[in-house]
Amino acid sequence: MQKTLFQKIADKEIPAAIVYEDELCVAFRDIAPAAPVHVLLVPRKPIPDIAAATAEDAALLAHLMLKVGDIARAEGLAEGGFRTVMNTGEQAGQTVPHLHIHIIGGRSLQWPPG
Ligand code: 5GP
């Protein structure tokens, strides 16, 4: 099966500013940041989106959730706060069909989003 864009980034076939990686996941800076800090956290496993995850992925999803806090702290977002977003499907604006968590912060963020 063809690799997704984020698999290619995780495998370092496409360059990206990686801020964290381990055996299960990779985090890198978004190419079009929506805020001073905008990191994408992706599992190495190419799950298309959160709705496609199964019970088999439970430990992986827990790992990702715990990494969100670690990355936010490392990026200096813990004090001011930050937002996590997982776009799923066309109406939510998902453009890359590989599960990813946006970690966004470093400025005041509007809520609700547009
Ligand atoms: P989505 O819209 O699917 O939730 O988010 C995809 C994100 O991937 C977008 O914020 C977009 O800017 C980012 N992106 C797309 N292509 C690349 C790329 O080649 N490198 C990096 N670092 N980010 C990308």
pLDDT, position 3: 98
Is 100 annotated as catalytic? yes
Does the model's pTM come out above 0.75?
A: yes
Query: DSSP letter at 33?
Result: -
* Ligand 1 centroid distance, CA of 52 (Å): 19
Say what the pLDDT of residue 1 is. 83
The CATH number of the domain covering residues in 5-105 = 3.30.428.10
Residue 113: per-residue pLDDT: 86
What is the Å distance from ligand 1's center to 57 Cα? 23
Where do the domains of the chain lie?
A: 5-105
Q: How far apart are CA 89 and CA 32, in angstroms?
A: 19
Which residues in the chain come in under a pLDDT of 50? Answer: none
3-state SS, one letter per residue, for the chain:
CCCCHHHHHHCCCCCCCEEEECCCEEEEECCCCCCCEEEEEEECCCCCCHHHCCHHHHHHHHHHHHHHHHHHHHCCCCCCCEEEECCCCHHHCCCCCCCCEEEEECCCCCCCCC
For residue 111, the model assigns a pLDDT of 95
Work out the number of other CB atoms within 10 angstroms of the CB of residue 99.
Answer: 26
SS3 (DSSP) at 25 = strand
CA-proximal residue: ligand 1, atom 8 (nearest): 30
**How high is the pLDDT of residue 105?**
98
Query: What pLDDT score was predicted for residue 54?
Result: 98
